[in-house]
Amino acid sequence: MFENLKPQPADKILALMQMYREDPRDQKIDLGVGVYKNAEGITPVMRAVKAAEQKVWEEQESKAYTGLAGDPAYSDAMINLILGDAVPRANIAAVATPGGTGACRQAFELVRLANPSARIFVSNPTWPNHVSILNYLGMEMVAYRYFDAETRGVDFGGMMEDLKQARPGDVVLLHGCCHNPTGANLNLVEWQAVVDLINEQGLIAMIDIAYQGFGDGLEEDAAATRLVASSVKECLIAASCSKNFGVYRERTGLLMAISQDAGQVGLNQSTLAFLNRQNYSFPPDHGARVVTTILNDADLRADWQQELEEVRLSMLGLRQQLADELQRLSGSDRFSFIAQHRGMFSRIGAAPDLVEKLRLEHGIYMVGDSRMNIAGLNVQTVPILARAIVDIGI
Ligand SMILES: Cc1ncc(COP(=O)(O)O)c(C=O)c1O
């Protein structure tokens, strides 16, 4: 049997990490993998996470199974964090999932179950895992224009034109904030136009929110998701705690199915639980319990918010420093988009041969589509990157 297996395409980011590790140069900069790193290059365990883990360790008396949907207290706390009071709780079905990836996977499976002929509209580009999971599930995908290679902002006109091709029942996948991989985001006026289009054409909104608190602030980053959730007939929201709680390996995510028809919610909830049962039975609990502990304890929550804010501001500071340095060295404003982008990533819009040149000649590693992880920089390495970008003529 095993001889029938075919090699699967290698993950480009993991291959890049390997190359970085094997690069013997002292002066090298890793802007590849999508994890937050502090100025020392470390992905720290957040203070509130450590404290909550201790609390869970002291207080937990059983590790018996939770429910198929995970602990309802986790769903409540996360719904509150993401949606505030934008949508009545009675309209929301929710299950814990293994990370945001698990939430996306379950969302796609729910769509396939409910409407096998639905097409999923994905931004071009989008997080590569969206594309590979949809391909693996055999679901039809349509790419909509998103990134404007000229301005490095959103090609909003192109996006709207492409979304107009969607048929009733098709799903529009949107990044709630901090678009990965581009860093370019819609403003709220544009979001409203997307909502109007979704409603006019009878489309289903799906939001992937993986970086709440990394862009403009916890509340600000949730604004678009709240707008969509409170304005459309039905939507799916896939959320991840990996980045904003720094619990990457604990696999902590949530999937919500929201319906304006509260009578539908019982069936939505049991279908989500069924899908969990088919794929892994019970979702992981430890990360979810830690997140719940933090969100439900005023002191831990305040400390978490403060540390998250430090993380956000440090990335904004690096963005501004890089944009300023590039302005100084190039004498032009063409890199100002770096300070306008939000989240951990920016696509700088360099051709693959220039990305390769950065790696070979300067030991600077970024993904081939020229996505760089801003958190891979620090105040000392920003000038080195800026000089390299200008020297190779990006
Ligand atoms: C857009 C987007 N969605 C979802 C995820 C899911 O992350 P995880 O499965 O680690 O929670 C990521 C992580 O990189 C992401 O960038």
Q: Identify the weakest region by mean pLDDT among 27-41, 122-136, 198-212, 330-344.
A: 27-41
Ligand 1, CB cutoff 6 Å, lining residues: 34, 99-101, 127, 175, 180, 208, 210, 240, 242, 248, 253
Residue 265 and residue 307 in one domain: no
- Residue 71 vs residues 75, 96, 100, 283: alpha-carbon distances, Å: 7, 8, 17, 9
Distances (CA, A) of 76 to 82, 135, 184, 260, 294: 10, 32, 30, 18, 13
- CB atoms closer than 10 angstroms to residue 54: 12
Are 131 and 251 within one domain?
yes
Question: Do 129 and 189 fall into the same domain?
Answer: yes
Name beta bridge partners: 247: none
Does residue 55 sit within a domain?
no
Domain boundary among 296, 317, 346: 296
Q: Is the pLDDT of residue 13 over 90?
A: no
Token code pair at residue 328: 């100084």
- Binning pLDDT at 50, 70 and 90, where does residue 14 land? confident
Same domain, 133 and 278: yes
Q: Which domain holds residue 101?
A: 65-296
Amino acid at 7: P
Q: Are residues 225 and 307 in the same domain?
A: no
Between 287 and 34, residue with greater pLDDT: 287
The conformational region for residue 308 under phi > 0 = left, psi -120 to 50 = alpha, else beta, is: alpha
How many A from CA of 30 to the centre of ligand 1?
19
Q: Are residues 291 and 190 in the same domain?
A: yes
127 is catalytic: yes
Handedness of CA 119, 123, 125, 126 (dihedral sign): negative
Phi and psi angles of residue 173, each rounded to the nearest 5 degrees, phi first: -90, 120
Structural domain includes residue 7 = no
12 Cα: distance to centroid of ligand 1 (angstroms): 16
Long-range contact pairs involving 259-268 (C-beta distance under 8 Å, separation at least 24): 259/91, 259/93, 259/233, 259/234, 260/91, 260/232, 260/233, 260/234, 261/91, 261/233, 262/88, 262/90, 262/91, 265/90, 265/91, 265/92, 265/93, 268/93
Which residue's entry shows tokens 């190039």? 330
User: What is the count of structural domains for the chain?
Assistant: 2
For 359, the 3-state DSSP assignment is: helix
Phi and psi for 120 in degrees, rounded to 5?
A: -105, 120
User: pLDDT at position 11, please?
Assistant: 81
Asked whether residue 54 is assigned to any structural domain, the reply reads: no
The answer to whether 28 is a known catalytic residue is no
- The answer to whether 208 is a known catalytic residue is yes
Residues 269 and 312 in one domain: no
Please check whether residue 56 lies inside any domain of the structure: no
Output the CA 99–ligand 1 centroid distance in Å.
Answer: 7
CATH code for position 169:
3.40.640.10
Indicate whether 287 and 315 sit together in one domain.
no
Decide if 203 is inside a domain. yes
Question: With 90 as the cut, is the pLDDT of residue 118 above it?
Answer: yes
* Average pLDDT over the chain, rounded to an integer: 97
pLDDT at 200 over 90: yes
Residue 394: per-residue pLDDT: 87
Confidence (pLDDT) at 193: 98
Half-sphere exposure of 352 (CA within 13 A, CB side): 2
Tell if the pTM clears 0.85, that is, is over it: yes
Task: Say how far apart CA 65 and CA 181 lie, in whole Å.
Answer: 37
Last residue of some domain: 296, 324, 349? 296
Q: Is the pLDDT of residue 33 over 90?
A: no
Q: How far apart are CA 262 and CA 90, in angstroms?
A: 6
Mutation test residue for ligand 1: of 129, 221, 237, the one with most atoms within 8 Å of CB: 129
Which CATH number does the domain housing residue 34 bear? 3.90.1150.10
Instruction: Give the residue-averaged pLDDT of 21-27.
Output: 95
Q: What are the pLDDT digits (tens) for 181-196? A: 999 999 999 999 999 9
- pLDDT of 297-356, one tens digit each? 999 999 999 999 999 999 999 999 999 999 999 999 999 999 999 999 999 999 999 999
